[in-house]
Chains A and B, each alone.
Chain A
Amino acid sequence: MTCSRRTLLKNVVKGTVAAALPVSAFKFLSPAQAKEAVEESTVRWGFLVDTTKCVGCGMCVKACKKENEVPYDAPVTRTWVERYVVTKDGKTHADSPMGARDGFTDPKIRGEEVVDKNDIAKAFFVPKLCNQCEKPACVQVCPVGATYQTGDGVVLVDRTWCIGCGYCIMACPYGVRFFHPVYKVAEKCTFCYHRITKGMKTACTQACPFGARQVGNLKDHDDPITKIILNERVAVLKDEYGTKPNVFYIGLDFNVR
């Protein structure tokens, strides 16, 4: 058998490449293994609000403020409930006194006698909280890296790092951020991160007697909340901003802004 210099060199190169390839390069990974390899979180927190169940008692707001040490009498809150009264003349009357911390007990809206009961076309309550957006505008604008999205999709604020510039408060299309009167930093709903990461419900979810608020893992397709979001007709707020919010609403009306 003869071997020219050309074929020898060719074979040497081929052999080296073949030897450099580990056997593991040819191994097929199952989707679960591939997912594990890129260290992607198996949790993505999402929220479901059923506006048809809300009666405007404001227990959620009270529980949230106490759970998260938000100054009780200051006009700031991480979550709130809005009341919408649409009259038969087509006008929309909306209010949220103190974020509905004490619920809605007065038929007057903003101190004004609205209408005769018979003139109301529809009236409902809409709970609001941070949407924990997939593309959070508030995080993009932070100049110091004080606010960020965790691996499981919750947007948090680092209180030791925030300089209180307020860019994020301006950037949020949903107006959920505010300036914490005590810590003097940006403050927002954390989905009760200290509770959900320990397998508990958020304070507002637990306090709601009617099940209008639910929290769940969107990556777990067996989660009852995720099933509702996947299978039923739900909507998000301000879809047009492209922030991809993760708070889903049942029974959302076009009057809700």
Chain B
Amino acid sequence: MKNHVLRPLWVAIAFIALVLLARYILVPKDFGVQGGSFTYNFHRASNVQEWKDFPIKYLGKEVCVECHTENGEKLASSPHALIQCENCHGPGLDHPETENPETMTIDRSRALCLRCHADLSYPESNRSIIPGIDPNEHNVDSECVECHDSHNPDLEDM
């Protein structure tokens, strides 16, 4: 074959070799279908572990009451027993370990209470079972916690 035919061929072969080499270097060794199909399971295997190692921030009520027994018991016998501590007190990640236990930001805002207690009175919805107020009329300028105890919201005990 003539040289002018071979020369571009060598260039093409060199280019393909370069692409394959780059692919070999750049693609992680654990990339593959991992026993599944190309359609749904083609991925880097170590990424699954990376997601598993994502830090947990909400620890759950069971962890809170281990130390805060008193508040836990008080809450358990109130209508707010179904609410998680961290819903108002914020995620408990690193809470006992960090030097300053005040790192948790407690949400005492009116807006937090209104999530459930703003009256929407929708029939057929459980929202209408929850005691509700009209936020534009009920003590507009005060925070709820000034009068109501969120750990024991029973109106009889106020």
Contacts and interface: CB of A to CB of B under 8 A. Distances in A.
| A-B interaction | yes
Interface of A: 39, 52-59, 62-63, 66-68, 85, 102-107, 117, 120, 122-125, 135-136, 139-140, 145-151, 156, 158, 160-161, 190, 193-195, 197-198, 200-201, 203, 206-207, 209-210
Given A158-B44, A198-B56, A105 B82 contact: no
Given A66-B91, A103-B115, A200-B60, A193 B51 contact: yes
Interface size band for B:
35 or more
A57 B121 CA distance: 14
Interface SS, A side? loop
Contact of A158 (B34, B41, B43): B43
Interface stretch (B1-9, B65-73, B124-132, B142-150): B124-132
B13 interface: no
Contact of B116 (A67, A68, A103, A194): A103
A102 B115 contact: yes
B111 interface: yes
A158 B47 contact: yes
Contact of A209 (B52, B87, B111, B125): B87
A122 B56 contact: no
Given A124-B124, A136-B40, A194-B51, A207 B87 contact: yes
A117 B128 CA distance: 12
B15 interface: no
Interface in B85-104: 86-87, 90-91
Contacts of A194: 51-56
Nearest to B136: A106
A102 B35 CA distance: 43
Q: Which 3 A-B pairs have the closest CB atoms?
A: A103-B115, A123-B122, A148-B43
Given A63-B58, A200-B56, A55 B31 contact: no
Contact of B54 (A52, A105, A120, A193): A193
A50 to B, nearest CB: 10
Interface in B11-61: 31, 34-36, 39-44, 47-48, 51-58, 60
B60 A123 contact: no
A161 B60 CA distance: 33
B114 interface: yes
A148 B40 contact: yes
Contacts of B83: 209
A66 B58 contact: yes
Nearest to A147: B43
Contacts of B111: 102, 105
A117 to B, nearest CB: 6
